[in-house]
Every structure is written in structure tokens, then in C-alpha cells.
Structure 1
Amino acid sequence: MANFSHIIFDLDGTLTDNTRGIRNSLLYALEHMQIHGYSEDVLDKFIGPPLQWGFSQLFGLNERNTKLAVEYFRDYYSENGWHENEPYPGIYQLLEDLHFGGVKMYVATSKLEKFAQQIIEHFEFDKYIIQLKGADYGGHSANKTSIISDILTVHRIKPFLNVAMVGDTVYDIEGGKAKGLTTVAVAYGFGKEEDLKNANPDYYVETVEELYEVLMG
């Protein structure tokens, strides 16, 4: 018997490991923008937040160049990056068992919605996911709290202890807390342990197996 009636999952770093696709897309964009001399730490920090935030805040690009860099990123990602990706071991079984346990599941991601939809269809997650909500093309709707809010509103889900937000970054935890949801931080994704713990999630898990125990009981 599952512990939750509704679960909202993040995508990258929670259901799938898209490190290679995101990294290659970022390197492609930076090369075309002729940006060099950055550290590996900056590349790590780029994964998680909206693209627009990453290029403007981490690389200091103005609005025009941020838009151009995002276009380059998406050029690569649309052709190659989205399928340089794989589900974390055990995730498919988790979704299947939750589904047959009567849990209603959703995906909230800061990734461009059309790419995220391609990914869940490619891995056949879509047969378990009621709705995927992602960022729009301009990045104006990439805030995780607003994405979670949209899902709750559309499906008339009332915040309660049996409604959970599962994700690997502070954006997921903060977004879930802002909407009154139970929050589950996963440490196997892209988030930093210290940041995740400082966000005070209701649950903190280090493996998919531990996530299974929290969600399925």
C-alpha cells in the first residue's frame, strides 16, 4: 500500500540521469558563444535551475546573449541531448508499483515541456504519468513553485500530508514546501547534500531503493 495518494516528481536527477545530454548541450552552447575558461564547478551548478537563470547568473550574459545561448543549447538538445539520457535503475519498477497501488503521478520540471514529454514517452513513463508540466519556450513559466501550483490547480489537488513532491534540488523542496506538500529529497541526482538538507525536506533518501521504501511503505 502506497503512503501517498498523489506524487509529483521532478524529471532530471530524479527519474532520469540526463547528465551527459545536458552537459553536451551546454558545452555546445558555450563553444558557439565563444565562452571559455570556466570551471567544472560552474557546469555542475548549471544543472537544475532554468536555462535562462544559468546563462545569465552563472556566465554573466545579458538578456540578448542569454536568449542566444538558450537557442544554441536547445539546438543540440533537440537533436541529441534529450536521448543522451537513461532512467535511474529501479525507477520504472517504482512507477509501475505506485500506479498499480492507485497513486496518481505527475511530473513538474523546469525543462522545456516538449523535450520533457519526448523523454517520458521514450521511456514509456507516460502511461503512468497523468500530466507533465514544464517550462514554456521563453522560460517565463520555469519557476518550480508555479509549475507545481499549476498541476495542483488543474487537478484540484488539495495540499495535504499524503501529497508529495519528490526532487533532487532545493528548487523542488522549496516549491513543494511553498504549496504545503510533503517533500522528499533524493540525493542520487544533481543537488548538493548540504543544500538539500538545509532545505529541511520531510524525507531525505540516498538511493532509489530508499525512495521506494518512503513512497511505497
Structure 2
Amino acid sequence: MNRRYDAVIFDLDGTLLDTLADLTNAANAAAGRYGFGSYTLDEICGFVGNGIRKLIERMLPDGLDNPHFDEVYTFFCEYYGKHCMDETEPYPGVMSLLDYLHKEGYQVAIVSNKADFAVKKLRDVYFGDLVAAAIGEREGCRRKPFPDAVWQALEELQVERERAVYVGDSDVDFMTAQNAGMDGILVSWGFRSREFLLSHGGRPDQIVANVNELKKILE
């Protein structure tokens, strides 16, 4: 059977891994260290998606102008680096999907706005050789929705963008696929609801509610 794609590039947080509890714990540890209030899971869920610096900016009063911004950012990174696997786990069905893709010869990568060190650490621990490339936010590479990291992943996988699809859970991921000139699939089991995705440009036929629906598109 001829398949549509040779490579699948995934977002990480909210797509492959449920990282929200550990992100919230790190945010509250950093905020508490410098005398700021605590945040709920839902509040942090609304802040994530554009990298750690943007998360801290959204958390703190006055954002980037807060005099403790750099200290909170540094504390968050150090704390999260030590505790990023305390409660994090793959979403239901993700491991079986990745195993299927690996056995069927698909090339698989992760492209995330999470810090590069954390993306690679989580890939190594949770997915190992099921994911060939893992790219996170770092200096010299514009973060999503710019397509730079996606194009780098395609180069590492040696796959043309016409033969690849980007899978994510947010409007940022939707724009990333568009900017990269690739097909995109949005999952509604992560940090953004189906209603949110539809209201931010997602089409009904490109939004999936579970791993089985995603697998049918990829087969």
C-alpha cells in the first residue's frame, strides 16, 4: 500500500507527553522563591507553547520588565531540569503509535519550543531510538512558528517536506506547519481544545481526538 508520508514530526508537550504537572510545579517553585503567587494547572496551560522565556513573561507581573525576570527564569530552568520527569508521562496510545511508526519504517522527529536540553533528555528517557531527531529552543534557531527547526529536522531525517507531516496540539503548531510548507495534523487531547483549534485556523478534517484517529491518517 502506498502511504502518504515518510516522516512524522511531532511537537512534544501536549502532543506526545503530558508535561503540565511538572511545568506547573516548576513555575510555582520559581514564583514562590521570589515572593510571587502560585498558579493552577489551567493557568499554566494557558501560558505554555512559546518557550520558557514566554512562559515566565506571562507568569510575572509586568512580564519582561519585572526586575526578577532573569532570576525567576534561571531558577525555573534549574528546577525543571531536575524535576521534568516527576509526573510527566506519555499520553495514552503514544508509545504504541511510535512503535508502529518505527516498525513500518517511518522517520520520526520531535520539534518543540521547550529548551533543547529538556527536549533531548525527555526523548532519550521516554522514547529512545523510536525518535531519530529531537530539536528544542536554542540560540541561533528561531522558535516555532518559524519553520527553522522543522527544516533542520527534515534535513537530519533526509526527507522532503512534501513527504512529511507535522503533528501538534496548538495554534503555534498549526502556523508552524503552514510556514514550513507542510501538511499539519492537530490533536485535541493536549493543551488546547478542539474548539480552540477550530477558532484559530484548524480545519475539522485535520483535528484528531485520539491516537487511533491519528494513526488512520498516517497509514
- TM-score of the pair, normalised by structure 2: 0.86
Aligned to 1:177: 178
Superposed, 1:94-109 pairs within 5 Å as 94-109=97-112
Aligned to 1:132: 134
CA contact (8 A) 1:108 1:144 kept: no
- Deviation per CA, 1:136-169: give whole Å up to 9, x if none: 2x69743342321322344454321x31000011
Closer, same or farther: CA 82–140 of 1 in aligned 2, 3 Å: farther
Closer, same or farther: CA 90–38 of 1 in aligned 2, 3 Å: closer
Structure 1 CA distance for aligned equivalents of residues 68 and 9 of structure 2: 33
Pair 1:4 & 2:5 matched: yes
- Deviation per CA, 1:92-115: give whole Å up to 9, x if none: 111111111121111001111111
**SS of aligned partner of 2:50:** coil
Unaligned runs of 5+ in 1: none
- 1:13 Cα shift? 0.8
% same residue: 24
Structure 1 CA distance for aligned equivalents of residues 41 and 118 of structure 2: 25
Pair 1:148 & 2:150 matched: yes
Closer, same or farther: CA 58–20 of 1 in aligned 2, 3 Å: closer
- 1:47 Cα shift? 2.2
Closer, same or farther: CA 139–86 of 1 in aligned 2, 3 Å: farther
CA contact (8 A) 2:112 2:136 kept: yes
Structure 2 CA distance for aligned equivalents of residues 53 and 206 of structure 1: 27
- 1:56 Cα shift? 1.9
Pair 1:212 & 2:194 matched: no
Number of matched residues?
213
Structure 2 CA distance for aligned equivalents of residues 44 and 191 of structure 1: 8
- 1:44 Cα shift? 2.2
Letter matched to residue 55 of structure 2:
G
Moved more, 57-66 or 198-207: 57-66
- TM-score of the pair, normalised by structure 1: 0.87
CA contact (8 A) 1:167 1:184 kept: yes
Structure 1 CA distance for aligned equivalents of residues 140 and 33 of structure 2: 21
- 1:61 Cα shift? 2.3
Structure 1 CA distance for aligned equivalents of residues 141 and 68 of structure 2: 17
CA contact (8 A) 1:106 1:131 kept: yes
Structure 2 CA distance for aligned equivalents of residues 139 and 43 of structure 1: 27
Closer, same or farther: CA 155–92 of 1 in aligned 2, 3 Å: closer
- 1:62 Cα shift? 2.4
Unaligned runs of 5+ in 2: none
Letter matched to residue 45 of structure 2:
D
Aligned to 1:186: 187
